[in-house]
Structure 1
Amino acid sequence: MFVWFTDEKDDAMRLLFMLLLVLLAGCEETPTGRSQLALVPEDLMAQMGEDTFDQLRRNQPVSRDAAANRQVQCVARNVVAAAEASYPAADLPDAWEVVVFEDASPNAFALPGGRIGVHAGLLRVAETPDQLAAVIGHEVGHVLADHGNERLTQQLGIKAGLLLVGLFGEGDLGQQQLMQALGLGARLGISLPFSRAHEEEADLMGLAIMARAGFDPQQSVELWRNMAAAGGGQPPEFLSTHPAHGSRIEALQQAMEEAVATYRATTPADCSG
């Protein structure tokens, strides 16, 4: 099929047409089978992850608590091994680096290239190694599913789309208002739902991973109950990048039977010492 543009907006239409071709050609699947568009080269994503992690280590103190570091390293080691066994076809980092940061917030994160950061404050909410495994499994799930790449690709696509809309306008006040409205619409209609989809996918991947690693998957529900108690109120779910605690718990419970069966067929992990 040939497409020929003849009006004054030829350049914008060609750009839009080429963008659509790229989108159609670039669709892949996550390890759970969800369709995904992730167009940023993986080596670039890994380099960005390394640079960000190095900057965090320069700007944030690292925990010297030997017991905390020992437990986090033990849980992470078991979780990573289970992730590699659970998703052998996934594009996994060659090595993983895990650091405990002196930060009171109950949080953790994972970056492309296999960098995992755990805040010391998380260890006051994740009361057992099993609950810690739920968090680390979740973060490893983000890396395995290439969520960072997908989100960056999505943001670049939104910016390109808004640029195209701008090319069709006259630059008056009405056009500026339209651009602002489209920006908000893109955030509510694309960015936030996709972020929640990432969180939900990472939750379920993490549940399967922690069970295979020998950690009790039922403790994932206890973890989110602890998070709900520690975190106070949340914004309305449709305005949040993360699912509400109740929604997370419900989704985990729906997948619990299979996870428990996996856990009972494994040797329990021992990261208590």
Structure 2
Amino acid sequence: MINTTDILNANILIVDDQQANIDLLEQMLTEAGYSNFTSTTDPFAVCALHSEHHFDLLLLDLQMPGMDGFQVMEALQQLEIDSYVPILVITAQPGHKLRALASGAKDFVSKPFDLVELKTRIHNMLEVRLLYKQLEQHNQILEQMVQERTAELRESEARFRCLAELSSDWYWEQDAVGNYTRTHGAVLEMLGIPAEDAPDDAVLSQKNESELVILRANIAARRPFLDLLFRRQSVDGEYQYFQVSGEPVFDASGRFTGYRGIGRNVTECMGAASIRRCELKPV
């Protein structure tokens, strides 16, 4: 939240070609407790001053020789320093109100102005301006946090991919109905299946019925399974042996969305006579 001290310390610029008007405004600001303000009688200097100091409020006179307040506002808009240019117009021409607001002014006070009204408008505009800046800073912090979190997730994904590659021959994911949605690794090459001919269930196809019953029971119960061993006959008639592990995946509401897991080719570890578990060598 914005407190009174923040408002009284805000950076204010007074722009008026008449020094007497500037003196009056400076006196009013001082009496109200403002301490951080500057002034200029040269409208051509406004853009350079605002670029350097990024004022929280500009008190701008419209009727000035050489470059009037409308031209000053147009020049400020072209700077694109900020999407919110905080301008309070002070003029003796009430008929200029709509044009001033259309040109970028955020509020309007007619001369001769009432000091109480002017103080109130200055206070309100500064409060809005400082809240706007606070929101911008908050958004920048959030954006930085998102970028950092995204980088962390990418790094974590890279570590996971590396780990999966080191600890298994392939990584796989299935949707809720059992279709493979992602595979990573040379599983099709190991199975001797051309990629263009590979069915969705190529990885776990041609298992014997007992293995299939175990797998279906685990999936139906949404249970994880570890080192499920199955046998598959390759195109040349040789048997290949695989170990597959998987776990169910649920979304934030607890709805089942599929399975994911890893697999290894353990043919070299298996004896020709029977199917048995083997102790995998560490990578």
Structure with greater proportional helix content: 1
Structure with greater proportional strand content: 2
Bigger Rg over Cα: 2
* TM-score calculated relative to the size of structure 1: 0.25
With a CA cutoff of 8 Å and minimum separation of 6, indicate the structure with the bigger relative contact order. Answer: 1
* TM-score calculated relative to the size of structure 2: 0.24
